Chain A
Amino acid sequence: MVKWNKYVQIENKPQMVAAGVEKAMIAAAQKNPKVIAVLEDMGFPGIGWFTKNVPLQMVEVGIAEQNGAGVAAGLAAEGFIPVINSFVFAALGRAYNQVRQSILVDRFNVKIIGREGVWGETGISHNTVEGVASARVLPNLVILNPSDAVEAEKATEAMMQYIGPVLLRQESSPPSIRIFADDYPFDIGKAFFLKDGKDAAIIATGYMLTEAVRAMDLFEKEGLDVALVNMCTLKPLDKEAIIRAAQMTGAIVTAENASIIGGLGEGVAAILAENYPVPLERVGVDDEFSQSGKITPEKDELKEHFRLDAKDLVAAVKKCIAKKEKLAKNRK
């Protein structure tokens, strides 16, 4: 049996990250009339509740994301807490300069919830993978990427309490499993060790934590002791946790449902190279656009194509351990 941290409570039932976001968003809007839902014709977490209970706390800007970002900034300048909800490619990608100039330059308290990830039937336009990389270079922006509904709820709550711009990346397809217990402590900027280990460490974010949890059983069978770290905050990255994982294991594998260029993998690579160089493997999308793909319990075409399965994590970990051993041999 895998020895988990006490705050881990795995239930192998599908769970939508969106459910957690919705719960926390309703609670935030109920508590604070300054919370304003900025709709970009893409719905909103808890839209039914909003319409029924707090219609004034909603503003529909239509399919005009650039204007949406500007209006949100203007609302924030007047003390409101606007929350934009859309796909990352629209809310951030389409309005990239508006987010930079109107929101981030003055560090306005605007929250952006953006759906992203390689999975889904929607195809190349909507299944984007470049959002994290394009957002990480923007100063003043905090990026969160929760991995299950429990964490999503806590991350959304933390986002609404934090004063400043936040991008909450919501990977909605396929559903994750439940990973965290209800009393799981969440903090912006803090990584969480689900499990310690000595052979290698997986640093995963978002949906890939589900695959990493599944991989843990495979490691157990093979007699490998692999640590597992959840990196919900993609900016600022938890440097201490990354170094700790490197010191603990000497081999790091990152896993993300996003491009490995400029994403979690590169962030971790930079921190390791500067502070504690150890072999690294990055699992994610390698310089490629996504496309449509069928997801059924038996077969997941996109997972197979992009090699984002638990099996692929196992292969990456083995490759990384081999690198580590080769390095040790060369040193001798």
Chain B
Amino acid sequence: MAHRDDLIRELEDKADKIRQNCFDIFASTQMGHVGGTMSLIEIITAMYFHHIKFDPKNFDWPERDRVVLSKAHCCEVIYAALVELGVYPRETLKTYYCFGSPFQGHADRWCTPGIDFSGGSLGQGLSFAAGMAYAEKLKTAMNPPGIEQGFLPRYIIRYNPVYRTYAILGDGECQEGQTWEAAMFASKYKLDNLIAIVDYNKFSLDGPTNDILPIEPFAKKWEAFGWWVTEIDGHDMRQIVDALDLTSRLYGDNKPKCIIAHTVKGYGITNWEAAHMHLGRGEHVMKGVQEGRKKYGKVE
């Protein structure tokens, strides 16, 4: 099922807006996890503006899809999306890193309504997401009488889960053993309502991910753990949208899904790409922001 060209174009424009929001965040602090944020832009845009169930006016909606950002240092991109969705006013972008701000340095469920997972310590997101996905299965399986409305929605015949859980992982954090514990768990309990999206930008803080501790053969690993796997270009909007929609249609195959999105760290910005920059500071950030604002400014 091919998507209309205008949908793809719309999403691409949206992605540019999200980028602009990210630049505002970086500019306000002259600091940020620029590399991993830029590599995630298209994926997050496709999720929040096309694929997932999310109500900006009611982000505690019990049936919303859960988004677990395991690489929570790149929360800037989620903040940018939440602002674009109107959940937070635009001025909030400038409060990033500030005391008492909903936009904390790492994603925090408690401080930022609309975010499902407090991360930062890498490798924990997939377990949490698996717990949420298991809970969805459990709620439907239990279905006992006498339990309050909302906790266990009654679905007699289900072609869709009540909600899906999306875990967004970094490639570096797949070096954590816990990720693979969670992978085994998800496959044991047939969590076909769980979708892991790996932002495979090939670099972590110390250098190339596959030099530091090789994760390859990556897709084969997920397959061996009992997952359905697909590999896409994580900056090609059409491929992202197609892959996401396909995971939904595959529901019922008893397999958790993994989308390996090949991306570029610091995508779109010359010196960020060249430096594979993880955490940028000062001039490096501001130079990139200037370039990016000019390059992606056509939308405003």
DSSP majority for the A interface?
Answer: helix
The answer to whether the Cβ of A75 comes within 8 Å of any Cβ in the partner chain is yes
Say how far A192's CB is from chain B's closest CB, in angstroms: 34
Taking CB atoms, residues of chain B closer than 8 Å to A64 are 178, 181, 184-185
Which secondary structure dominates chain B's binding surface?
Answer: helix
- Neighbour of B127 across the interface among A98, A100, A105, A107, CB < 8 A: A98
Out of B123, B131, B139, name the residue touching A73 (CB < 8 Å).
Answer: B131
Tell me the bound Cα distance from A64 to B176 in angstroms: 13
A77 contacts chain B at the CB level, 8 A cutoff: yes
Interface residues of A in 243-274 (CB under 8 A from B): none
User: Which listed segment binds A: B33-41, B141-149, B225-233?
Assistant: B141-149
A80 touches B135 (CB 8 A): yes
Provide the residues of chain A in CB contact with B128, threshold 8 Å. Answer: 70-71, 73-74, 77, 102
Contact A77 B116 (CB under 8 A): yes
The total of interchain contacts (Cβ-Cβ below 8 angstroms) comes to: 109
Residues of A contacting B92 in the complex (Cβ-Cβ under 8 angstroms): none
| A78:B181 contact, CB within 8 angstroms | no
CA distance A100 to B133 in the complex (A): 21
Q: In the complex, what residues of B have CB within 8 A of residue A74's CB?
A: 127-135
Report whether B118 and A75 are in contact in the complex, using a CB–CB cutoff of 8 Å: no
Instruction: List residues of chain B with CB within 8 A of the CB of A105.
Output: 108-110, 118
Cα separation A102 to B45 with both chains bound (whole Å):
26
Most buried by B among A71, A75, A79, A97: A71
Expressed in whole angstroms, the Cα–Cα distance for A76 and B125 within the complex equals 14
Q: How far is the CB of B74 from chain A (nearest CB, A)?
A: 16
Is A59 close to B, CB under 8 A? yes
Q: Is A67 an interface residue, CB under 8 A from the partner?
A: yes
Q: Are A71 and B130 in contact (CB under 8 A)?
A: yes
Minimum CB–CB distance from A111 to chain B (whole Å) comes to 15
CB-CB under 8 A from A145, the residues of chain B are: none
Contact B120 A78 (CB under 8 A): no
Q: Is the CB of B139 within 8 A of A78?
A: yes
Chain B: minimal CB distance from A50 (Å): 14
Q: Is the CB of B181 within 8 A of A67?
A: yes
Contacts of B116 in A (CB 8 A): 77
User: Is B124 part of the binding interface, using a Cβ–Cβ cutoff of 8 Å?
Assistant: yes
CB distance from A109 to the nearest CB of B (A): 13
Chain B residues at the A interface, C-beta cutoff of 8 Å = 108-110, 116, 118-121, 123-136, 138-139, 141-142, 144, 147, 151, 177-178, 181-182, 184-185, 189
Q: Which 5 A-B pairs have CB atoms at the shortest separation, nearest pair first?
A: A74-B131, A70-B127, A78-B135, A67-B181, A64-B181
Could you name 8 residue pairs across A and B whose Cβ atoms are closer than 8 Å? A33-B142, A64-B185, A66-B123, A66-B181, A67-B127, A75-B134, A77-B135, A98-B127
